[in-house]
């Protein structure tokens, strides 16, 4: 079983809740398009996105989480609070594999099947995957994708690896403490190294106007990045869109 955990920001800190809802619905549909039924999606939010749909593998946790303010620290604490709440629910599906997914990214429809084929594997980091500026016609392959994007690792968990309640300190749980740029090294230091996923596992969506990072890949001007984009560009064919739910 692969469990996707998705935290969704509060409407009070969005520029356009309708736009955020559309991005979240696209993400959820991407997750629910897995070719294997061995998956579950858990969304934690203050308010369910507009257009939310029902799916037997989707759980929506809608609660009165404390409203964050406009500061980056407050928004990140809100995100981790929702990750913890969704992880409490995810514990019910362990042992299994866990993946944190940002609410505006998309994933390969092959992930659940891959986990089902390798149920005892420690997990994988996404060595190479795609960056896509929302609304354009091309995606760009990036190496060391796990250093760039939070939707970039799958880790096998036991029930005891995840909290039983919100009252437990988040710092007691490894997966709620280590951010994605250091997860690969941290797992190796723990003696449970992750393997590189042998296919692109996700698409990091930028240029939405609502990213925590504010990143817009298309506006980065370095010559090295421009050459990289030229040589790694991938047109969004129908097959590519179907693979990632774009």
Q: Which domains does the chain have, with CATH numbers?
A: 2-244 (3.90.550)
The pLDDT score that the predictor gives to residue 175 is 83
pLDDT digits (tens, 9 = 90+) for 19-41: 999 999 999 999 999 999 999 99
Taking CA atoms, 5 is separated from 127, 137, 190, 197, in Å, by 20, 28, 23, 19
Contacts of residues 196-200 at CB distance under 8 Å and 24 or more positions apart, as own/partner, are 196/124, 196/125, 196/126, 196/127, 196/128, 197/114, 197/124, 197/125, 197/126, 197/127, 197/154, 199/108, 199/110, 199/114, 200/108, 200/126, 200/128, 200/129, 200/130, 200/141
The pLDDT score that the predictor gives to residue 235 is 83
pLDDT digits (tens, 9 = 90+) for 190-202: 999 999 999 999 9
Does residue 62 register a pLDDT over 70? yes
Give the number of other Cβ atoms within 10 Å of residue 237's Cβ: 9
The pLDDT score that the predictor gives to residue 213 is 45
């Amino acid at each position: 079983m692969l469990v996707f955990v998705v935290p969704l920001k509060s409407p009070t800190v969005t520029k356009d809740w309708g736009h955020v809802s559309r991005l979240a619905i696209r993400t959820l549909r991407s997750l629910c398009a897995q070719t294997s039924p061995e998956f579950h999606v858990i969304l934690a939010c203050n308010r369910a996105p507009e257009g939310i749909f029902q799916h037997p593998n989707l759980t929506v946790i809608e609660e009165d989480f404390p409203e964050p303010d406009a500061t980056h620290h407050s928004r990140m604490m809100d995100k981790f609070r929702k990750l913890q709440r969704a992880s409490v629910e995810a514990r019910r599906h362990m042992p299994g594999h866990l993946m944190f997914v940002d609410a505006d990214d998309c994933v390969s429809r092959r992930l659940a099947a891959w986990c089902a084929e390798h149920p005892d594997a420690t997990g994988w980091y996404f060595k190479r995957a795609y960056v896509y500026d929302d609304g354009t016609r091309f995606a760009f392959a990036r190496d060391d994708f796990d250093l760039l994007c939070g939707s970039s690792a799958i880790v096998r968990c036991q029930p005891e690896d995840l909290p039983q309640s919100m009252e437990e300190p988040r710092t007691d749980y490894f997966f709620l403490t280590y951010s994605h740029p250091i997860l690969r090294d941290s797992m190796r230091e723990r003696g449970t190294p992750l393997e590189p996923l042998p296919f692109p596992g996700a698409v990091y969506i930028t240029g939405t106007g609502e990213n925590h990072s504010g990143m817009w890949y298309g506006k980065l001007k370095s010559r090295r990045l421009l050459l990289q984009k030229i040589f790694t560009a991938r047109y969004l064919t129908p097959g590519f869109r179907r693979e990632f739910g774009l």
